[in-house]
Amino acid sequence: SSGLAKTPLTLAFESLAGSRTDAIVVPPGYSAQVLVPWGAPLNDTAPDWSEDLALTPEMQANSVGMHHDGMHAFPLDADSASRRFILAMNNEYIDENALWAPQGGPTNMAEGQRPADEVRTEINAHGITLVEVEKTDNGVWQHVRGSAFNRRYTSATPMALSGPVAGSDYVRTKYSPEGTLTRGTNNNCANGYTPWGTYLTCEENWPDIFIKDEGRETDDDRLGIPTGRGRYGWETAAGDASEEEGEFSRFNATPGGASASEDYRNEPRTFGYIVEIDPYTGAQAVKRTALGRFRHEGCWPGKLVEGQPVVFYSGHDSRNEYIYKFVSEAVWDPADAPVVGAEANRLAIGAKYMDKGTLHVARFNADGSGEWLAVTPDATTADGRTLAEALGLAADDHAGIIIHTCDAADLLGATPMDRPEWGAVDPTSGEVYMTLTNNSKRTEEGSEPTFTGNEDDIAAPGNGYATAPTNAANPRAANEGGQIIRWREGEDQGVFEWEVFVFGAAANDADNLSGLTDSNQFASPDGLYFDERDEGQGILWIETDNGYAGVADATNDQVLAVVPAALQRADGAAAVVSGDNQQALKRFCVGPNGCEVTGIFATADRTALFINIQHPGNWPAGDDATQAASGTVRPRASTVVIQKDDGGIIGV
């Protein structure tokens, strides 16, 4: 049923062999260059990068942040949209050993008090980087140092709360007794963007920066707020005369005062949201609480239809957590898409579509049907109560429902998924794809999982550690390979149809359900992006973040390209990619040792594909992304631009 009446493109490159080197590999006829690596100076307040640069809080606040993840391009004028734009990029977390390499490592990371300026530098390495980039006449990309568009939003930048949680008792703190403001956004993983020209950045593994030893509430345990010591021990720092109110103590949410307005017990409840940024103005960022509170991987708009609600899809990346859809109350008015280069109050448009609406959570039925369950106070739970009653909340407590989004989803009977990561929407059909990366806690009923993959990426106990039995959408126990699920919306906002699009696996696995071969085997799909082509259905790009040895022993993390309409498949069944279908799913790029490949978009003219290399082990050696170092380098996460040597369109 999908992809009919579309012209499938032919992928005009040979699928790459697997590779395990300190370099990027791209097909013959393509080149890859490094752009805006961690520490690249945004202005003259920050020095040029050097291997022995000892960063200060001020330097890091004026440089590109660390561990690049989701990103998007914001054009400055329509004519140059593919040659010059604001690159908005998430800086998800830090490699403290690379950050503090010149000093021999961080101070007191595991125990004892962290130095205030080290913590300030680490806080400034997180968040979002906005940087103007441009293509020079020789086809090489560079960033514009000193551009007025260059900005950082860090884990300390003041931000507004909006939507149902804003101004509620749940988010009163000593910093904002009214519950309308907070400081910082953290562990921003995947991203999104809106039709009105704003950037969406998504708070994923934020619980790990807090601690809460006493006074814990159900959401603290459900989301995995640690006890004892936070991921980087930020809560242990103590400042000096210049220390702001609660600058470090806000990371310790143990109640210390007589009320919530006298301490930071509620600080973690100001995190876990979709955050909207106007990249053109640098206006105060806004946390849009109506889209739910959990470990948000990313946020993707559905296909826009005039006069219909605007929808956003978001996944909770933890084991056996859920997929969500937000449906706006306001219906789409094309006049709300500002002309490129024109002035507009984009965050006011954001308030119109993202502050009022209904959050839904997905149930995937075994017959291929699906239901979107409204997450509202008066929704009926599986055992016949109202959601508010079942959660012990007042009947009209929408804020409380949002604070306890995951528990609400449990009560509604949503389907626990294999760690939802990125989504992508086919711009032609509106079909939605989402990666389900893997799941060590998926069991055959009554059995213990035997999972060998890398579990380091989520360390906090209590985070998605409950096991769940297999179900139709997540059919493999101890799922190492992951899968990509696809759905089509029904006539109203309440129903959909779904199928598994493709299963990841090692070629020689017994559960290689999609017939992958050495030249396209992959596991742990994560990044996902659908490009748009005038001539028909575009390419779906898949990025991996894999720790499963069955594939990792053969290749580093990678970018694959697939043209869904070119895959011959039986309706309702996952694609089988061997045989004639082998040409429809190809390996396009392999990353350097130690990295994951994440963050992705193509320029509007499809002549450049931008990706991010996160947590590389010994890379980059210089500006040529395909060059391996002869010795050891201080590793730097970086954006990589892949272009054809003849300037042509990527992939074809």
Residues that bind ligand FEO (CB under 6 A): 92, 189, 204, 297, 317, 421
What letter would DSSP give residue 155? T
| Closer CB to Ca ion, 263 or 421, in the complex | 421
Q: What is the largest CA-CA distance in the chain?
A: 69
What's the min distance (Å) between Cβ of 1 and ligand FEO? Answer: 30
321 interacts with, out of ligand FEO, Ca ion, none, CB within 5 to 8 A per kind: none
- Interstrand relation of 319-321 and 417-418 (parallel, antiparallel or unpaired): antiparallel
- Whether a cis peptide bond, with omega within 30° of 0, leads into 620 is yes
132 interacts with, out of ligand FEO, Ca ion, none, CB within 5 to 8 A per kind: none
Q: Report how far residue 423's alpha carbon sits from residue 252's, in angstroms, rounded to the nearest whole number.
A: 33
Cα–Cα distances (Å) from 132 to 35, 375, 524, 643, in that order, read: 11, 39, 32, 19
What's the min distance (Å) between Cβ of 94 and Ca ion? Answer: 12
Contact 332, 195 (CB under 8 A): yes
**Tokens of residue 253, six digits:** 């949410």
| Closer CB to Ca ion, 391 or 484, in the complex | 484
Q: Report how far residue 354's alpha carbon sits from residue 190's, in angstroms, rounded to the nearest whole number.
A: 18
What's the min distance (Å) between Cβ of 322 and ligand FEO? Answer: 14
276 interacts with, out of ligand FEO, Ca ion, none, CB within 5 to 8 A per kind: none
204 interacts with, out of ligand FEO, Ca ion, none, CB within 5 to 8 A per kind: ligand FEO
Q: Report how far residue 626's alpha carbon sits from residue 21's, in angstroms, rounded to the nearest whole number.
A: 10
| Closer CB to ligand FEO, 129 or 168, in the complex | 129
| Closer CB to ligand FEO, 249 or 318, in the complex | 318
What's the min distance (Å) between Cβ of 57 and Ca ion? Answer: 24
What's the min distance (Å) between Cβ of 100 and Ca ion? Answer: 20
355 interacts with, out of ligand FEO, Ca ion, none, CB within 5 to 8 A per kind: none
Helix ranges (H only) for 309-381 are 346-354
Torsion of CA 115, 120, 126, 131, to 10 degrees: -140
Under the phi-then-psi rule, with left for phi > 0, alpha for psi from -120 to 50, and beta for the rest, what region is 167? left
What's the min distance (Å) between Cβ of 298 and ligand FEO? Answer: 8
200 interacts with, out of Ca ion, ligand FEO, none, CB within 5 to 8 A per kind: none
Contact 539, 600 (CB under 8 A): no
What's the min distance (Å) between Cβ of 297 and ligand FEO? Answer: 5
Q: Please name which of 65, 56, 63 lies closest in space to residue 42, comparing C-alpha atoms.
A: 63
| Closer CB to ligand FEO, 204 or 410, in the complex | 204
Q: Report how far residue 652's alpha carbon sits from residue 643's, in angstroms, rounded to the nearest whole number.
A: 12
Q: Which residues have C-beta within 8 Å of that of residue 577, sequence separation ≥ 6?
A: 502, 514, 515, 516, 517, 520, 567, 584, 585
219 interacts with, out of ligand FEO, Ca ion, none, CB within 5 to 8 A per kind: none
What sign for the dihedral angle of Cα 61, 64, 68, 74? positive
- The binding site for Ca ion (CB under 5 A) comprises 189, 421, 526, 545
What's the min distance (Å) between Cβ of 458 and ligand FEO? Answer: 8
| Closer CB to ligand FEO, 566 or 597, in the complex | 597
| Closer CB to ligand FEO, 212 or 296, in the complex | 296
| Closer CB to Ca ion, 171 or 432, in the complex | 432
220 interacts with, out of ligand FEO, Ca ion, none, CB within 5 to 8 A per kind: none
Residue whose CB is nearest to ligand FEO in the complex, by number = 189
